[in-house]
Structure 1
Amino acid sequence: MRILVLGGTSFVGRGIVAAALDSGADVTLFTRGRTGTDLFPTVPRRVGDRDTGDYTALRDGEWDAVADVSGYLPRHVGPAMDALDGRIGRYLFVSSHAVYVRDGVGPGADENTPRRPPVRDADVLTEDTYGPAKVACEDDVLARYGDRATIVRPVKVAGPHDNQDGLTYWVRRAARGGRVALPTRPEQPVQLVDVRDLGTLVVRLLADGRAGAYNAAGPVTTIGDLIGVCAAAAGTRVEVVPVAPEPAPKPFPLVKAEAMWHSQHRGASRARAAGMPVTPLAETVADTLAWDRARGTPPLRRGFTDDQERQALATAS
């Protein structure tokens, strides 16, 4: 199977490319050539830029399927589809569970959950525009490809090579042990999907020619239990200390306002029926810890600094 991956050298795209290569697929990458230039040295590359609409590198070639990991705005997706018009089979768009409405949604909500109104003219992606912009992208892909369109809606993706410091923050913090400041209640639900499970799902959907939408989500846990799993992987002991959320830098890794806790209960039975595996959380955590240590534990962009955590712990009741 010939697969073109739009954006495949960062985190999610990297997982999809690895899964595709493992399956024996013939993969081509389309990237800006800025990151991961040493990855997948045997894979052909086309260089362009979604932000400027430069898809001229795709003016020739045919593929059985496209996996679009780089589309966040309609102005990214539309030109890509135009450039590939008539030369691909299936178009798989990696969207987000943020497309769903925020209110009135209970645990186990599936792909039939109403979506938020689309936004087409966003200049900056924020908490208010990210999901609606993805809705607009989904609509455009579905309008162009119909039953040759596949939509994947991941929850928070986790695992090795995570460039968003989500699970990585808690893995690293638990590895230090001791009192851990948590700017939410320990019973806050958390739902992750291992990046490798997501990659496998994408490849299986393409190989089987499956249309429609699929929630890519793992089992639900609590953030308190997650920190405990991280400590167990590192062989440390921790005491989780709830602290007031106000001093915490925002957004804080994996922490949700209580009004958004419902978003951590997505139903994923359709994806699992399509072949998405479920890596145990302890394995995802252990592999993330090993990867983080191997890269030298560089500074993280999110979470408490040491001084901020000490301050938060000092004011905890």
Structure 2
Amino acid sequence: MRLLMLGGTSFVGRAIVADALRQGAEVTLFGRGLTGPELFPGVPRLIGDRDTGDYSALRDGSWDAVVDVSGYVPRQVGQAMAALGDRVGRYLFISSHAVYARTGLQPGSDEDTPRRPPVRDTEELDEDTYGPCKVACEDDVVARYGSRATIVRLGKVAGPHDVQNGLTYWVRRAARGGRVALPGSPEQPIQLVDSRDAARLVVRLLLDDRPGAFHAVGPAEPITMAELIATCARVAGTRVEVVPVPADAVSPFFPLIRPASLWATQQRSAARARAAGLPATPLAVTIADVLAWDRERGEPPLPFELSPAEEAELVAGVRA
């Protein structure tokens, strides 16, 4: 399989490239060449810029499939499709669960759940526009490639090389042990998919030439926030006490925390993706690998984290 990656040297794309190479694919990377230039030596790199619309490096060549990891707005996806035309077999677009409408959502929702109305008139991505822009991208890919289009909707992805908070925060925090402030309910459901499992699904779909939309969610068994933190502590060899604290006492973007009205977004069905080949790495393995990677890189500051003093103050307030 000759595979073109639009993006692919950061996190999810990196895992896809690694898995595709293990499967014997001939991979070509397209991007600015700024992220991970030392990765994948010997893999051809085509230099371009989706932000400026520079796709000139794609004017020649053909591929059995393209994986679009870095398309966020319809212009980017439209320009890529115009540049590639019919010189690609299958177009696999990496989308998000942000495409779905949130009102009336029930646990166990599948890929046929109603989506939000598409948005095409902005490239400013925020809570209100990110999902609708992804909807527009999905629609455009399906309109252009039809049965040669595949959509993979990622849930929250976790694993080594994740530069966002997510699981890394809780792994690092549980490894310190002690009283852990949880700004929410211990019973909140949480879905995390290992980046390498998501990659395996993507490559399997391409090898099987399979169309349609698929949820990339995990783990295999339902888990709560309290159970997640406890598993992090067990892997790290520490003891923790989870102390619920008021959610409004911290940033509304606290890692992995969702209000009760959105709990169903963390209970989506993975049945279709499992049947298509999505594996299920044990959560403890994902946690152990994140812990080792984070320590190896020196545990740099995260985009958002409570300092020990801030956390102690929150816990003391609850105790009082």
Name the TM-score class by shorter chain.
over 0.9
Query: What TM-score do you get using the length of structure 2 for normalisation?
Result: 0.97
Q: Map 1:14-163; keep pairs closer than 5 Å.
A: 14-163=14-163
Secondary structure of 2:223's partner?
strand
Secondary structure of 1:151's partner?
strand
Q: Is the 8 A contact 1:249 1:303 kept in 2?
A: no
Q: Corresponding residue for 1:312?
A: 314
Query: Structure 1 residues 234-243 or 124-133, which shifts more?
Result: 124-133
Quote the offset at 1:282 in angstroms. 0.6
CA–CA distance in structure 1, aligned partners of residues 20 and 69 of structure 2: 14
Q: Map 1:252-271; keep pairs closer than 5 Å.
A: 252-271=254-273
Q: Corresponding residue for 2:286?
A: 284
Quote the offset at 1:250 in angstroms. 3.2
Q: Corresponding residue for 1:183?
A: 183
Secondary structure of 1:215's partner?
strand
CA–CA distance in structure 2, aligned partners of residues 211 and 123 of structure 1: 28
CA–CA distance in structure 2, aligned partners of residues 182 and 128 of structure 1: 26
Matched to 2:13, the amino acid is G
- Cα RMSD, aligned residues only: 0.9
Secondary structure of 1:302's partner?
coil
CA displacement 1:185-213 (0-9 Å, x = unmatched): 10011001100000000000001000010
Matched to 2:192, the amino acid is L
Question: Which structure 2 segments of 5+ residues have no match?
Answer: none
CA–CA distance in structure 2, aligned partners of residues 305 and 125 of structure 1: 29
Quote the offset at 1:107 in angstroms. 1.2
Give the fraction of aligned pairs with identical amino acids, expressed as a percent. 67
CA–CA distance in structure 1, aligned partners of residues 281 and 259 of structure 2: 27
CA–CA distance in structure 2, aligned partners of residues 46 and 141 of structure 1: 22
CA displacement 1:294-314 (0-9 Å, x = unmatched): 111111112322332122112
CA displacement 1:32-73 (0-9 Å, x = unmatched): 111111111111001111111111111111000000000011
Matched to 1:193, the amino acid is V
Quote the offset at 1:275 in angstroms. 0.8
Quote the offset at 1:153 in angstroms. 0.4
Matched to 1:8, the amino acid is G
Quote the offset at 1:218 in angstroms. 0.9
Q: Map 1:240-259; keep pairs closer than 5 Å.
A: 240-259=242-261
Matched to 1:259, the amino acid is S
Give the ranges of 4+ consecutive aligned residues of structure 1 lying more than 6 Å apart after TM superposition.
none
Query: Structure 1 residues 168-177 or 50-59, which shifts more?
Result: 50-59
Quote the offset at 1:258 in angstroms. 1.3
CA–CA distance in structure 2, aligned partners of residues 229 and 303 of structure 1: 20
CA–CA distance in structure 2, aligned partners of residues 5 and 164 of structure 1: 22
Quote the offset at 1:108 in angstroms. 1.1
CA–CA distance in structure 2, aligned partners of residues 28 and 88 of structure 1: 13
Matched to 1:180, the amino acid is V
Secondary structure of 2:248's partner?
coil
Q: Is the 8 A contact 1:249 1:304 kept in 2?
A: no
CA–CA distance in structure 2, aligned partners of residues 302 and 19 of structure 1: 30
Q: Corresponding residue for 2:274?
A: 272
Secondary structure of 2:272's partner?
helix
CA displacement 1:161-186 (0-9 Å, x = unmatched): 11212100000000000000110010
CA–CA distance in structure 1, aligned partners of residues 281 and 232 of structure 2: 15
Q: Map 1:209-248; keep pairs closer than 5 Å.
A: 209-219=209-219, 220-248=222-250
CA–CA distance in structure 2, aligned partners of residues 252 and 40 of structure 1: 34
Size of the aligned set, in residue pairs, is: 317
CA–CA distance in structure 2, aligned partners of residues 221 and 254 of structure 1: 13
Matched to 1:254, the amino acid is L
CA displacement 1:110-132 (0-9 Å, x = unmatched): 11111111111223211111111
CA–CA distance in structure 2, aligned partners of residues 85 and 283 of structure 1: 41
CA–CA distance in structure 2, aligned partners of residues 2 and 68 of structure 1: 14
